[in-house]
Structure 1
Amino acid sequence: MTLTLVATITARSGQADIVEAGLRQLVSASRAEAGCLQYDLHRHQDDAHVFVMIEQWQDSAALAFHQNTDHYRHFKTTCGEALQDVALQPLNRIA
């Protein structure tokens, strides 16, 4: 079953540019993954510290694979201190 994930990523004050650069690198690498159907990065219109990633994966196994890739781990390592919060909303389309 296709899985949609909405990730809301909030950068610490003054760290938005670092987080954006890391997320941009993550986008290109993630889109190349076999199970990735969509991986789109957005920035909040009113708060430049808030990013929203809208992801769609072939299934939960593809998402689990993604979360264990070198590029995903690299983002967490290099940008982890710059993050204030990450909220994940896993969704299944029903209509």
Structure 2
Amino acid sequence: MHGSLVIIARARAKEGFEEQMINAQKALVSVTREEPGCLSYELFVSNQEPGLVTFFERWESVQAWHKHMQGEAVSTFRNTAGHCIQEFELDEMHQVA
């Protein structure tokens, strides 16, 4: 899996929008796992801060991830819950060991 792309994405919900954001992200996970090139797509919620989530993603290639980011599932998420996000950070990585 050294050639695969790993994405770590963190999102913090706006106060009062935690449940809406996480529910929309859960729906995104179930659809994304079926996309070509998706090796792993997992969502974690912080035990200390319920409105803070982390995605751990592994993709066959950068191209597969770009297709996902431009696809219908991400577009639907942005339209239905993009307004719920207060902060967002994303790291693109590759495995070295």
Same fold (TM over 0.5): yes
SS at match of 1:48: coil
CA RMSD, Structure 1 to Structure 2 (Å): 0.6
**CA separation in 1, counterparts of 2:91 and 2:51?**
19
Q: Corresponding residue for 1:37?
A: 39
Q: Which amino acid aligns with 1:91?
A: M
Equivalent runs, 1:3-22 vs 2, <5 Å: 3-22=5-24
Over residues 15-56 of structure 1, what are the superposed CA-to-partner deviations in whole Å (9 max), with x where a residue is unaligned?
000001100000010000010000000000100010001000
How many residue pairs were aligned?
Answer: 95
Q: Structure 1 vs Structure 2: percent identity of aligned residues?
A: 25
**CA separation in 2, counterparts of 1:75 and 1:85?**
16
Deviation at 1:86, TM superposition (A): 1.2
SS at match of 2:58: strand
**CA separation in 1, counterparts of 2:79 and 2:73?**
10
Equivalent runs, 1:48-59 vs 2, <5 Å: 48-59=50-61
Q: Corresponding residue for 2:82?
A: 80
Structure 2 unaligned spans of 5+: none
Structure 1 unaligned spans of 5+: none
Q: Which amino acid aligns with 2:12?
A: T
Deviation at 1:69, TM superposition (A): 1.0
Q: TM-score, normalised by structure 1?
A: 0.97
Q: TM-score, normalised by structure 2?
A: 0.95
